[in-house]
């Protein structure tokens, strides 16, 4: 048997690699997708091979991640439950897609992952695999009773690693878990499971990797210009950049000014609530700037229609339905809405805040001649509003009259 394992080099996937080899008598191909984790890749292959992998495949997917996954989500204006920028959610379908492709190349029988049976990632990996390769078997060790029985906690995993010479750097005392990619870093579990715990306190400042605390950000604001074409950011401060470079640049700028930190209690797809702390400095800037260009260039009804679909689109991404026909249909609509979302927005970054400092577009629908409060009957005749209001008020007047009639009739009775 041959298995392709989504491998990070951490404690869980290192143990799983060895466990799969022993319990399935299988060849295990370790696959590491570089989506911006900033891992030390030079040592990763040696670690995987020493742990028992027959092969280790490491691929740089950062540009594809930014171009084909992050940017379409931001074109849609998607935020899950109005707070979460979907950083982990949107990376999983890309990793699963490439896992399936490698499984085909290697003629593997199955793919495997280290997601637990309580979280969302198991669903995301497996729904993607079902859509792309329904014939491939998926192995999820954390959902196997024999695995959970052998490893009821981290202490047992660390002991197993030492006993079997598995090279991992892990501590039973680690107070939280962390997942990083180009879009964000998420922090969960441990001390963060107490929803009343203050993750912004001084003692937790060492946890954050992408951003400074807002109160420690520079005392002077910084201005940044973002240029958009069809809803895609193509330049920062006048310099043309690739999607990957855009994200790297905005992460640096946002992190410097303490932007993009959120503390969320969210609803997992599997039914429970969970608490997560996220750093999304570049994503927060990109989302805000994109909306500013949309306010100039999008037709009102088109914007409202797209906005009405944001909760559904976000839910599909969060729940793992990236490769579903309904998400693809919504994406086609989003692409259509972005045809004229072209322009430049200037932002002021200051101590955790993003402040608009100007916007312009060659395709702007904003016309100062019409919007002006100065007299200009040729552009907009204010007298026309009388009939407009009268027509819109008609049903309200009828409703009020009916209620008055009912009230008087009840009094007479």
Average pLDDT over residues 259-264: 98
**Residue of 69, 101, 64, 91 lying closest to 8 (CA atoms):** 91
- Under the banding of pLDDT at 50, 70 and 90, the label for residue 23 is very high
* 390 noted as active-site residue: no
177, 240, 242, 408: the catalytic one is: 177
pLDDT of residue 210: 96
pLDDT band at 172 (very low <50, low <70, confident <90, very high): low
Residue 304 has pLDDT above 90, yes or no: yes
User: What are the CB-based long-range contacts (under 8 Å, 24+) for 16-25?
Assistant: 16/112, 16/114, 16/141, 17/48, 17/51, 17/52, 17/53, 18/51, 18/52, 18/160, 18/164, 18/166, 19/141, 19/147, 19/150, 20/112, 20/139, 20/141, 21/52, 23/146, 24/139, 25/1
Per-residue pLDDT at 413: 65
pLDDT for 41 equals 82
| pLDDT range class, residue 375, cuts 50, 70, 90 | low
Cβ atoms of residues 15 and 116 within 8 Å: no
* pLDDT for residue 174: 65
According to the model, what pLDDT value does residue 140 have? 98
- Taking the C-alpha atoms of residue 204 and residue 201, their distance in angstroms, rounded to an integer, is 5
Is the confidence at residue 247, as pLDDT, over 90?
A: yes
Q: What is the C-alpha separation between 225 and 199, in angstroms, rounded?
A: 31
The answer, as to whether pTM is greater than 0.85, is yes
> Phi then psi for 237, rounded to 5 degrees?
55, 40
Q: pLDDT value at position 369?
A: 80
89 is catalytic: no
Look at residue 256 in the predicted model and tell me its pLDDT. Answer: 98
Q: Is 190 left (phi over 0), alpha (psi -120 to 50) or beta?
A: left
Which of 62, 92, 98, 124 is the catalytic position? 92
Two tokens at 4? 């392709």
For residue range 314-364, what is the model confidence (pLDDT) as tens digits? 999 999 999 999 999 999 999 999 999 999 999 999 999 999 999 999 999
| Whole-number pLDDT of residue 409 | 67
Is residue 374 predicted with pLDDT exceeding 80? no
Give me the mean pLDDT over the 5-29 stretch: 96
As a whole number, mean pLDDT of residues 24-34 equals 97
In whole angstroms, give the CA distance from residue 133 to residue 266: 30
Respond yes or no: is residue 92 known to be catalytic: yes
Q: Is 243 helix (H, G, I), strand (E, B) or coil?
A: helix
Under DSSP, is residue 209 helix (H, G, I), strand (E, B) or coil? coil
Helical H runs in 52-86?
62-65, 71-75
Q: What is the pLDDT of residue 40?
A: 73
How sure is the predictor about 153, in pLDDT bands with cuts at 50, 70 and 90?
Answer: confident
Active site residue 381: no
| Three state DSSP letters for 130-182 | HHHCCCCEEECHHHCHHHHHHCCCHHHHHHHHHHCCCCCCCCCCCCCEEEECC
Give the per-residue pLDDT at 164: 92
Mean pLDDT of 203-214: 95
pLDDT exceeds cutoff 60 at 115 = yes
Judged against a pLDDT cut of 60, whether residue 22 lies above it is answered with yes
Task: Give the model's pLDDT for residue 170.
Answer: 58
Check pLDDT > 90 for residue 376: no
Percent of the chain with pLDDT over 70: 96
d(CA 254, CA 79): 18
Select which of 14, 89, 98, 121 is catalytic: 121
What's the mean per-residue pLDDT of the chain?
Answer: 94
């Amino acid at each position: 048997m041959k298995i392709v394992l989504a491998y990070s080099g951490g404690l869980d996937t290192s143990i799983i690699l060895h466990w799969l080899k022993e319990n399935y008598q299988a060849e295990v191909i370790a696959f590491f997708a570089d989506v911006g984790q900033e891992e030390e890749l030079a040592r990763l292959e040696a670690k995987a091979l020493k742990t028992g992998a027959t092969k280790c495949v490491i691929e740089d997917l950062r540009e594809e991640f930014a171009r084909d996954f992050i940017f379409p989500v931001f074109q849609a204006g998607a935020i899950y439950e109005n707070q979460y920028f979907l950083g982990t959610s949107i990376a999983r379908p890309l990793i699963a897609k490439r896992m399936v492709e490698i499984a085909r190349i290697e003629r593997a029988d199955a793919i495997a992952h280290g997601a637990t049976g309580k979280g969302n990632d198991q669903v995301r990996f497996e729904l993607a695999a079902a859509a792309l390769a329904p014939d491939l078997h998926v192995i999820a060790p954390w959902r196997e009773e024999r695995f959970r029985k052998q490893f009821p906690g981290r202490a047992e995993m660390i002991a197993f690693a030492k006993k079997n010479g598995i090279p991992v750097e892990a501590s039973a005392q680690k107070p939280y878990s962390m997942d990083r990619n180009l879009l964000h870093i998420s922090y969960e579990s441990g001390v963060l499971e107490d929803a009343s715990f203050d993750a912004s306190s001084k003692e937790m400042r060492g946890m954050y990797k992408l951003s400074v605390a807002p109160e420690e950000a520079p005392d002077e604001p910084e201005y940044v210009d973002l240029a958009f074409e069809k809803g895609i950011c193509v330049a920062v401060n006048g310099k043309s950049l690739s999607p990957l470079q855009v994200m790297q640049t905005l992460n640096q700028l946002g992190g410097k000014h303490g932007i993009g930190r959120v503390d969320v209690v969210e609803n997992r797809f599997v039914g429970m609530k969970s608490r997560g702390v996220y750093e999304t400095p570049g994503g927060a800037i990109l989302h805000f700037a994109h909306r500013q260009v949309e306010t100039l260039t999008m037709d009102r009804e088109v914007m409202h229609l797209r906005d009405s679909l944001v909760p559904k689109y976000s839910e599909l991404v969060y729940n793992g339905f990236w490769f579903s026909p309904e998400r693809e249909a919504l994406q086609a609509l989003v692409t259509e809405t972005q045809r004229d979302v072209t322009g430049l927005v200037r932002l002021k970054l200051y101590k955790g805040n993003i402040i608009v400092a100007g916007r312009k577009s060659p395709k702007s629908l904003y016309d100062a001649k019409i919007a002006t409060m100065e007299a200009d009957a040729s552009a907009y005749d204010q007298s026309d509003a009388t009939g407009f209001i009268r027509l819109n008020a008609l049903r309200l007047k009828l409703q009020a009259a009916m209620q008055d009639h009912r009230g008087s009739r009840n009094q007479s009775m």
